[in-house]
Structure 1
């Protein structure tokens, strides 16, 4: 249980850190944060607050998918926004294009690892990723296709709201599905099997 809890919260914090990395790379936010930034700009709100509010609203879409929120789901709603704001306060802006490009690639990798960690911990997917896993469970479609479709849909909505779009956005939308499909098996917790001790047959 302790290992699963550590995996859950490390994954959630890393996800928030990856959000800050996208912002500091300044080459285009990931699709969900294009949406968050668009809403924040429209409503003059802090991005962390928008992330928390969006996570809560996305849970409504779980109802027709018959998904049940868990500890990981509720923690996701709160921790992501707080971790992103904290990481942004600690990360200085980057000056060179090379440094920003490296930060972009690292942000995508950290995001995929973080997603695999907190979903694999088995405490329930976050609101956004619950859409992916719920649709996969109900339809049997591949995680890669579902995630890519969700990211593109959110991206279009975010662009209409005035969110920041760039090459990093396209790179994330096209690569995150395959990367999550690769990372999920690494962190999926398997139940421990108990083996009953063997006894000598009675004579």
Structure 2
């Protein structure tokens, strides 16, 4: 047994050739779960997500608008991932568009209004559900084989080089939080929880759903 197989419980399942309509449905379902996860993590107000710490820090130091920084970081990550062997595909663009549209719709709804004033235990439960939604949503849409989003592409690139999915995600998330914090980005309890929990949850999701991270290439 190789060192990689001993350390990474994510099954090296061959890429499944699902019918195109099924792949599209799986892709959209995964992105919808991701949007719901982001929405929940925002509404509990326990701390922004890892990449938002970086975005806020860069925006503060450069004077650029938040949206400009998000777009610029996304482009830089896509270029870096391309050099690491994960090329952007049609799903990369749709990842950005679908999540943005779904997230705007969710944030515009009254469903979780007032959640930030709920008891901490309730907010913590919603945060945990949000992490599950992000992990399982990511495994679903990446496993559909239509391409991974800009930031998930880094995790896929690390996996292709023998890193376990969970460890790859944790290292990336923690590194992003650290750099963002040094630049002045906001860090909360929820930020730390997501940085350390999302990797193991994502790895578990790939295993439970029998999806392959390599499908995102």
| Superposition TM-score tier, normalisation by shorter sequence | 0.7 to 0.9
Specify the alignment match of 1:155 in structure 2: 177
Match of 1:176, SS state, is helix
Q: Alignment partner for residue 46 of structure 2, among 27, 42, 47?
A: 27
Deviation at 1:73, TM superposition (A): 1.3
Is 1:165 the counterpart of 2:187? The answer is yes
Is 2:34 the partner of 1:15?
Answer: yes
The aligned residue for residue 122 of structure 1 is 145
Cα separation, 2, equivalents of 1:5 and 1:60: 25
| C-alpha deviation, 1:112, in angstroms | 0.5
For structure 2, the 5+ residue unaligned runs are 1-19, 213-217
Q: Residue in 2 aligned with 1:133?
A: 156
Secondary structure at 2:83's aligned position in 1? coil
Cα displacement string for residues 21-52 of structure 1 (whole angstroms, at most 9, x for unaligned residues): 111111112212222344455646455x6544
Q: Contact 1:51–1:81 (CA<8 Å) still a contact in 2?
A: no
Counting only pairs closer than 5 Å after superposition, residues 1-203 of structure 1 correspond to structure 2 as: 1-39=20-58, 43=63, 45=65, 50-90=69-109, 91-94=112-115, 95-96=117-118, 97-137=120-160, 139-185=161-207, 186=209, 188=211
- Provide, for residues 154-192 of structure 1, a one-character-per-residue CA deviation record: whole Å limited to 9, x for no partner: 111222333331111111111111111111130528xxx
Distance change (3 Å), C-alpha of 1:76 and 1:50: farther
Counterpart CA distance in 2 for 1:13 and 1:28 is 22
RMSD between superposed Cα atoms in Å: 2.2
Instruction: Give how far 1:80 is off.
Output: 2.6
CA gap of 1:17–1:56, structure 2 versus 1, over 3 A, is farther
Unaligned runs of 5+ in 1: 190-203
CA distance 1:9–1:25, shift in 2 (3 Å): same
Distance 1:163 1:17, change over 3 A: farther
Q: Which has the larger radius of gyration?
A: 1
TM-score for both structures, normalised by structure 1: 0.81
What CA distance in whole angstroms lies between the structure 1 residues aligned with 2:158 and 2:101? 28
Kindly indicate whether the alpha-carbon contact (under 8 Å) linking 1:32 and 1:155 is maintained by their aligned counterparts in 2.
yes
Cα deviation for residue 18 of structure 1 reads 1.4
Please tell me whether the aligned partners of residues 55 and 180 of structure 2 are also in contact (alpha carbons under 8 angstroms): yes
